[in-house]
Structure 1
Amino acid sequence: MQRKQFIGLSQNQIKMIAAAAMVLDHVGMELFPQWTILRIIGRLAFPVFSYCIWEGSRRTHHPWQYLFRMLGMGLLCVAGYYVYTQTFYGNILITFSLSLCVLYAFQYGRTCWAQGKRTAQLTGAGVMLGCVGGIWLICHWVTIDYGFLGVMLPLLAELAARVWEQCSGMGCKQERAGLIGFSVGLLALSLQMGGIQIFSLLTIPLLLAYNGTRGEKNLKQFFYWFYPVHLLLIGLVSLWI
């Protein structure tokens, strides 16, 4: 029998791994805080989804719909958490919404810069700096999951990919260059947060195995609803026990 050659993991597959890790993380946080291993496994979730946000921003044909869907679901979770705890918490979907904002600001800035006109270039730079500055203020005023550096991770991937594009002209390797920039940012985030966050670096081999394909099925709606639904179920179990 001929052994099948490993051709990598699709986006659906790495997202399902990340989703499972997220469930274990939240189960450990809410139900079994003494089981540190669950929180360690959970460190795989955020980097995978953050990297996919970068990819999604490059591939989507409807960028604003992509942003508004993410933001709408995030605000729904914010409202639910506020009702439950009477406190505001900028969940991971808010983090990703801010990531999309800064990615779109960067893309707009590149478009303006390419026009070669001083006014357009200044406008693009102003929009980019204003967006980054605004996000920095938001992250200091309210609690945003993974903070400012967590929001900026997809931008670091985009910057690395664009630098590689300019230096080599080999667009086919932009994804690997982007992963390098993303990994550097992930290391910085791990050192900033400390503790078990260092285990998030185990995500890098998983992302190296990603083959760049979406997968056979369109699971977009599943992943949008997965976050609030699994939190609701875990919350109900926590109240019950």
Structure 2
Amino acid sequence: MTNYQAILNTKKKGGGVSAFLLKLLALISMTIDHFAAIVILNGKLYGYSTEYFQMAIATEEGHRLLQIYRIFRIIGRLAFPIYAFLLTEGFRHSHDRKKYFFRLLLMGIVSEVPFDLAFFNQVYNFTVQNIGFTLALGVLCMEGMHRFRKNVFYKWAAVLSCAAIAELIRADYGALGIFLIAALYNFRKEKALRLSSGAALSAALSYGSYCFAALSFLPIAFYNGEKGRISLSRFFYVYYPLHLGFFYLLIYLGAKITA
């Protein structure tokens, strides 16, 4: 074992970053990202209209909001890799993986209408499906990897199948999102490879945002394997659809007030 690997595997009681802190960081990052995409872009700048967007960014206030929007979206790139990492940890320690899968799938189904309203101002839009479906496919992918762990061909066929489904249904982050989850699970016992492969795939996911998502592996590197004092294990399932609906409501009320 290299010195680097030894350092990475070292844990100190009470030190490092807990699952709670990682979840909190991902939640804050995601909220900032969605506030920018929904409230700033769709509500203030874009108005779900290309013509409106061109007029809005021509103003001083619009230009300033556009810069804030870009910064917030870059910050938001931290969220998915952390959620992908926590998904693999949750899968490893889950007592009922079937329930784990169906909870995420249900969250995806419940969230789809508020997601489409917030991002597209439509009750249903097939352009992209929310992250609940990506995470549910990630669990399905890891289950396939676990079941076929002794058969390399079937193991990676399961990964490719889930990646293909992600592309077919246009799940958020698509095949690359599934490959990230698969890599984090596959190298779960080799921390250096887990971090490096995760950072590389995250950089690819965020190439349009200066590969900022790769930085999410800095706090992940200090993960201590502990849950933390507070558990957010069920909070995300409720928060995700609610915050999307809330941000859309802000746009709707804002339009009513200024109409």
Using structure 2 for the length normalisation, give the TM-score: 0.74
Matched, 1:184 2:218: no
| Cα shift at 1:41 | 1.1
Matched, 1:30 2:38: yes
SS at match of 1:31: helix
1 CA distance for matches of 2:224 and 2:155? 34
Match among 226, 235, 244 for residue 213 of structure 1: 226
Aligned twin of 2:135: 96
Aligned twin of 2:96: 62
Aligned twin of 1:144: 171
Matched, 1:109 2:185: no
Residues 22/103 of structure 1: CA separation in 2 closer, same or farther (3 Å cut): same
| Cα shift at 1:210 | 1.8
| Cα shift at 1:6 | 7.8
| Cα shift at 1:103 | 0.5
| Cα shift at 1:125 | 4.3
| Preserved CA contact (<8 Å) 2:198 2:217 | no
Residues 81/223 of structure 1: CA separation in 2 closer, same or farther (3 Å cut): closer
| Cα shift at 1:175 | 4.1
The one-letter code of the counterpart of 1:87 is N
Unaligned residue ranges in structure 2 (runs of 5+): 1-12, 42-65, 255-259
| Cα shift at 1:135 | 2.5
| Preserved CA contact (<8 Å) 1:9 1:210 | yes
Aligned twin of 2:24: 16
Aligned twin of 2:243: 230
Unaligned residue ranges in structure 1 (runs of 5+): 114-120, 163-173
1 CA distance for matches of 2:199 and 2:101? 24
Using structure 1 for the length normalisation, give the TM-score: 0.79
2 CA distance for matches of 1:231 and 1:26? 8
Within 5 Å, give how 1:116-135 maps onto structure 2.
Answer: 121=151, 125-126=153-154, 129=157, 131-135=158-162
SS at match of 1:94: helix
| Cα shift at 1:133 | 4.0
Kindly tell me the number of residue pairs found equivalent between the two proteins.
211
Match among 149, 154, 168 for residue 181 of structure 2: 154
The one-letter code of the counterpart of 2:98 is W
Aligned twin of 1:117: none
| Cα shift at 1:12 | 0.6
SS at match of 2:81: helix
Q: Deviations over 1:176-196 (max 9, x none)?
A: 542233223223333xxx311
| Preserved CA contact (<8 Å) 1:159 1:181 | no
Q: What's the Cα RMSD here?
A: 2.2
